[in-house]
Structure 1
């Protein structure tokens, strides 16, 4: 029987990408002759995509209602700048690398399910030497729908060669929690990610403050290789 999967979100869950995302946004601002924006100004927007980050940076420069066509032009520049130095300062969150290696050795299947585009997510994980740790990677453009729809979560589990029973989502946002609920699997939320609402208020099945706590959280939920 196939093993269950641990399905991880990427930005704000596996990897802290804030510095490189902000650097790309500020690179666009400099090209436009506008002021740079501080790292902490973007808050939860790191988890919702480049266009909201760009809109926030423009707002900080006094441009409240940018033309959508202009946003798309800036978005293309953002992508070019981001991909040119995608992992300059991005780092895996503490404890995750050893944990992934240990779970793989035990027989778990591992997958990434992110709303980042699949090619960019693949490039990031490859630069961080994490790509080979995963059996599947699903991005926001892999399927017709992205999180919070169930489709990418279910697709990630299937592509990982895993079974649905006993699989679990690990993420940092409402989109992750809602996608797991839609897919019919439990969800563990991390507190160190990018969310507008504290994850404890979103009623995940478990909450962890550090990846050292993930194994015990799975045990409390009755999740493991013998489930199902």
Structure 2
């Protein structure tokens, strides 16, 4: 059985605006200006909450705020506003349906906390497409540790020898390499054409192309 495992943020959905808003809320709540901008800081948003807080602290020149201190505040704000601006990338739902019809088993392997990933997938209406979903805290390890991906495939009922990973960052590329599976990186994320520098096995420019692209990597 062929298995396609997807990253979430920046791969299935553009979540950057809601992530940036959650980080900015931490600083505004302490009386500071909002230091992050969705248009220019999307890549940092996809690197996670601590990366966003770190960039904000640096820009504001703060010495009285620690990242660990504000991280839970960020998560709480994000949980309460998780799908205000977030949207699936064009063609995602149709592509997932086509893969399922072709016999692919689907899963999600994300470094987003599991409870937030579950919440978001439910709210954007695609949780039922996936046989397994593992978040950053599901296991003692997370991407790029290959066990995170391997366990996702196992819980989905798939086979590592017939698996491909879909992602958008160096972390996804390294996870796939560590696990010995092909990796497809999206070409419509913050890195744009620069994603080619990561040398994935393939680059996806639109979800309409996904079925043919995956067939080329893991033949029927």
TM-score interval, smaller chain? over 0.9
Deviation of the 1:118 alpha carbon = 0.9
Post-superposition Cα deviations, 1:60-98, rounded to whole Å, max 9, x if no partner, equal: 2232x665xx21121111111000111111011111111
- Number of the residue aligned with 1:160: 156
Cα gap change, 1:142 to 1:175, in 2 (>3 Å): same
Between the aligned partners of 2:190 and 2:33, the Cα distance in structure 1 is: 24
Deviation of the 1:196 alpha carbon = 9.8
1:181 to 177, 183, 197: 177
Post-superposition Cα deviations, 1:152-205, rounded to whole Å, max 9, x if no partner, equal: 111111010111222100100111011011111111111122459922111111
Deviation of the 1:41 alpha carbon = 3.5
Given that 1:42 and 1:56 are in contact with CA atoms closer than 8 Å, whether structure 2 keeps it comes out as no
Unmatched 5+ residue regions in structure 2?
A: none
TM-score, scaled to structure 1: 0.90
Deviation of the 1:43 alpha carbon = 3.7
- Number of the residue aligned with 1:39: 38
- Number of the residue aligned with 1:91: 87
Aligned residues: 219
Secondary structure of the structure 2 residue equivalent to 1:165: helix
Between the aligned partners of 2:196 and 2:20, the Cα distance in structure 1 is: 27
1:4 to 2, 5, 12: 2
2:140 to 127, 140, 144: 144
Between the aligned partners of 2:13 and 2:189, the Cα distance in structure 1 is: 9
Cα gap change, 1:206 to 1:80, in 2 (>3 Å): same
Between the aligned partners of 1:183 and 1:157, the Cα distance in structure 2 is: 11
Unmatched 5+ residue regions in structure 1?
A: none
Given that 2:17 and 2:42 are in contact with CA atoms closer than 8 Å, whether structure 1 keeps it comes out as no
Note the 1:197-212 alignment, pairs <5 A. 198-212=194-208
Between the aligned partners of 2:64 and 2:143, the Cα distance in structure 1 is: 26
Secondary structure of the structure 2 residue equivalent to 1:42: helix
- Number of the residue aligned with 1:170: 166
Note the 1:208-223 alignment, pairs <5 A. 208-221=204-217, 223=218
Given that 1:9 and 1:114 are in contact with CA atoms closer than 8 Å, whether structure 2 keeps it comes out as yes
- Number of the residue aligned with 2:14: 16
Given that 2:166 and 2:184 are in contact with CA atoms closer than 8 Å, whether structure 1 keeps it comes out as yes
Secondary structure of the structure 1 residue equivalent to 2:137: coil
Given that 2:16 and 2:42 are in contact with CA atoms closer than 8 Å, whether structure 1 keeps it comes out as no
